[in-house]
Amino acid sequence: MRVERSERVVTITLCRPERLNVQSPRMWTELVRVRRELPGTVRIAVLRAEGRAFSAGLDRALASPSSDEGFGGLAQLSRADATERIALWQQAFDWTSAPDLVSIAAVQGHAVGGGMQLALGADIRILAADARLSMPEPALGIVPDLGGTKRLVDLVGYSRAVEICLTGRRVGADEALGMGLASRVVAADRLDAAVAETVDALLAIDRNAAAETKALLQAASRHTQAEQQAAERDAQYRRLRDLAGFDE
């Protein structure tokens, strides 16, 4: 994993193309550290990968119970210790919760299991036309546990989420766009340019207005219409006070 940071943008690149960018718990721990240590000036996080695949998910070698670092070894721990460790890993896939940070996943080729869940953890997903997303964990006898189940249901609805997870099938880029999994689909050779264009467009927006708007959008699904309108009124008042130069 390579991390490149400017004042306002951090780019995190999975760089094991020869292994289709398989993931490991060590990588997840490092992702958590990177996210926690981002300075307040950073407005955009880009999640991308080298090679022909975004990520083939968890390295299967680490699913073995005999692996010291591995996922399979969780069964040997107490329930409290195992779930605490998974809770830490889940934080690596949360790139949406901070209102003042907008995240973009640039997905090419296969995004399988943890790869799909990493993409789901971003605010915006830009897919290359050759992208294929799947969540095959149940077919392997386990469950998706990196935050992807709720995110998937929120994006595509319960029925589609059940069908995707319990068949393990691959969802192509155009289908992903149609069902709301993708924000945009571009030709594979246009992926980097499309991400750069999106970053520029996001940076052109006033940071405080963007953060207030993202917070409104995040809350919308759990609010009634009346509650959401009240939240909009409060947010707008804060923005107008700020623009007028009044202190809160």
Mean of the per-residue pLDDT values of the chain: 95
pLDDT tens digits along 170-221: 999 999 999 999 999 999 999 999 999 999 999 999 999 999 999 999 999 9
pLDDT at 248 over 90: no
Say if CB 93 and CB 148 are below 8 A apart.
yes
pLDDT tens digits along 10-40: 999 999 999 999 999 999 999 999 999 999 9
Q: Read off the pTM.
A: 0.95
Neighbours of 11 (CB within 10 A): 18
Q: Tell me, what's the pLDDT at 146? A: 96
pLDDT tens digits along 52-82: 999 999 988 777 666 556 677 888 899 999 9
Look at residues 95, 90, 131, 89 and name the one whose alpha carbon lies nearest to residue 111.
131
CA-to-CA dists, residue 196 to 6, 49, 246, angstroms = 14, 15, 35
pLDDT tens digits along 96-142: 999 999 999 999 999 999 999 999 999 999 999 999 999 999 998 99
Which tops the pLDDT comparison, 75 or 155?
155
Q: Tell me, what's the pLDDT at 66? A: 60
CATH number for the domain running over 2-203: 3.90.226.10
**Domain locations in the chain as residue ranges:** 2-203, 207-244
CA-to-CA dists, residue 135 to 113, 116, 164, 230, angstroms = 4, 7, 7, 38
Q: Tell me, what's the pLDDT at 209? A: 98
Q: Tell me, what's the pLDDT at 69? A: 62
